Amino acid sequence: MPFISSSTYRPPRFLSNPHVQTVFASMFRKVSGVRYKRDRIDTPDGDFLDLDWSGVGADKVAIILHGLEGNSERSYVKGMVRALNNDGWDAVAMNFRGCSGEINRKLRFYHSGETEDLDTVVSHVIAENKYSRLALIGFSLGGNVVLKYLGERGSKAHPVIRRGVAISAPCDLTAGANKMAEPVNRLYIMRFLRMLREKIRMKMELMPERINDDGYRTIKTFKEFDDLYTAPMHGFKDAADYWQKASSKPFLPEISVPTLLVNAADDPFLAEPCYPVDEAKANSAFFLEVPKFGGHAGFVAFNREKVYWSESRAISFLNT
């Protein structure tokens, strides 16, 4: 029964508030010492993905997936890259379509359940033919993608994939979207919608006849955004259909690669269905850890190595 009921994470005294954890880790952390080498690869549908590599000459590698409107430069990604490199892992940070600084070519871009692009990246990395072990690490939206990808493939996952880690993942998208619509999360929603509008406007410049931002100011929730953009752009009926089909929770029972999900109990973005205790108890390959504190992708820690708890916890799991 791999439900880890007691976690080792203890927040700094003045960072126990979940919103402070979330904002501090996202806005104020600076990560130095990470130098990327960019690799652009083609997708089967004629688009492209930008990968940022940080290698140490290892025979093991971790692919890192960022969250909504993130990229490889976000502090949580670079912090994980640095920690992995220091532990003897190569790392490759995957930028979702349109998130690498250049808008992608197609009308579609990325969403919480899009796993084919991850499969393209996994195949590309394996084709390098220099790694005996591969791990997948995802944050928030990227964590949901990792969980869904491993669940979809089940026992047929490529044997070089040895571990998966998801941090602050909204594995039930309906519950997560409803939680984000609460007044307490209004500032977060406004920030995400503002960034997403910039993407819509960049796409308008490429294909003005296919997309516009008319009425965007009336959008106040993820449901309204997903109804208007995400669902029709990616072949879903509406937001509800998208959330149901893109959630990783239904796929958790099929995971066969040892996989760890870390969701803080005080995460302001997650509702009760995003803590799949029953699924963890029923699947010996799926581990759920619920620290009392941590916020959303926070898990701040102060130490000489400048490593956050989520990074040390992920690496400990990868090496077990």
Using CA atoms, how far apart are residues 92 and 248, in angstroms rounded to an integer? 23
Q: Return the residue matching tokens 């899009």.
A: 114
Q: How confident is the model over 101-138, as pLDDT tens digits?
A: 999 999 999 999 999 999 999 999 999 889 999 999 99
Q: Across all residues in the chain, what is the average pLDDT?
A: 97
Using CA atoms, how far apart are residues 66 and 303, in angstroms rounded to an integer? 24
Arithmetic mean of pLDDT, 185-208: 96
Q: How confident is the model over 12-34, as pLDDT tens digits?
A: 999 999 999 999 999 999 999 99
CATH for the 3-173+248-319 domain, from 1.20.1300.10, 3.40.50.300, 3.40.50.1820, 3.30.930.10: 3.40.50.1820
Q: Judge whether residue 60 has pLDDT over 80.
A: yes
C-alpha torsion sign, points 185, 191, 195, 200: positive
DSSP run (H or E) holding 276: none
Positions marked active-site: 140, 267, 296
Whether the Cβ atoms of residue 140 and residue 168 lie closer than 8 Å to each other: yes
Q: What residue ranges do the domains of the chain occupy?
A: 3-173+248-319
Beta bridge partners of 138: 65, 166
Q: C-alpha angle with apex 128: 142 to 286, nearest 5 degrees?
A: 35
Q: Judge whether residue 1 has pLDDT over 70.
A: no
Q: Which of 94, 244, 233, 118 is nearest to 176 (CA)?
A: 244
pLDDT-based confidence at residue 4 (cuts at 50, 70, 90)? confident
**0.95 cut: is pTM over it?**
yes
